[in-house]
Structure 1
Amino acid sequence: MSEILHHMIASGPRPVAPFSHATEVNGFVFVTGQMPTDPTAPDAPLPEGIEAQTRRVVENLKVVLGGIGLTLADVTMARIYLTEFERDYAALNALWPSFFAPGKLPARTTVGVTALAVGALVEIDLVARRP
């Protein structure tokens, strides 16, 4: 069994709790749920609306993945948390495929939750695998 690697990405979003941006073992990478905060201005207001927040979250995920030499093409599973599930689920579904190559969507679970850190509408965590 391989040793677990703990990754903190210098250019990544400021953590909202005590965690690593990602951990890695045996070629699998587990990326902590990212929020729609701006890594260059972590105290700035969040983007407005589910589409803008989802884009920001995905950009943050790309920063973390890029910091360890991976891309969205390496993602095998995504978990998405929505505070306004009924209102935002359709808009999320319409936007989600635009982040991936056609026919290359990762497995996914989407869950409605009562609240998220920093008052976010969306949080996404990922599992990726090294090629």
Structure 2
Amino acid sequence: MISSGPQPVAPFSHAVEAGGFVFITGQMPTDPAAPDAPLPEGIEAQTRRVIDNLKLILGGIGLGLEHVTMARIYLTEFQRDYAALNAMWPSFFEVGKLPARTTVGVTALAVGALVEIDLIARRP
């Protein structure tokens, strides 16, 4: 667990490392400083918050987004939010170095979130 990371919404570890790979549990758009605060409005704001939370987890184990090899994204409003997510996604990574990615439409997410993202990273 990363002490500065978001409060878990279920029983899990923020990250688990095995054989040089780090598996980061799906993060929600909650505010680590105010876990009961309302979620940000809209897919862009929620995605930015999720990425910020993932960066906290990665930073807590000495890694960053540049170490991400795979991302899984879950959207509750796939048709509505997919294009907006795609438009902002490259801004989180170095040009030409996007991780592999799967995006899945789901019926619901914890805490009423629009987006959840989990990652696989590799320690250099």
TM range (shorter): over 0.9
In structure 2, runs of 5+ residues without a counterpart are none
1:48 aligns with 2:62: no
Q: Which structure is richer in relative contact order (CA contacts within 8 A, separation 6 or more)?
A: 2
From 117, 121, 124, the counterpart of 2:114 = 121
% same residue: 85
- Separation (CA, whole Å) in 1 of partners of 2:100 and 2:80: 22
Q: Which runs of 4+ in 1 moved over 4 A?
A: none
In structure 1, runs of 5+ residues without a counterpart are 1-7
- Tell me which residue corresponds to 1:36: 29
How far did residue 67 of structure 1 move? 0.1
How far did residue 128 of structure 1 move? 0.1
1:22 aligns with 2:20: no
- TM-score, normalised to structure 2's length? 1.00
- TM-score, normalised to structure 1's length? 0.94
- Listed as ranges, the matches of 1:1-131 within 5 Å are 8-131=1-124
Count of residues paired in the alignment: 124
Q: RMSD of the TM alignment (CA)?
A: 0.2
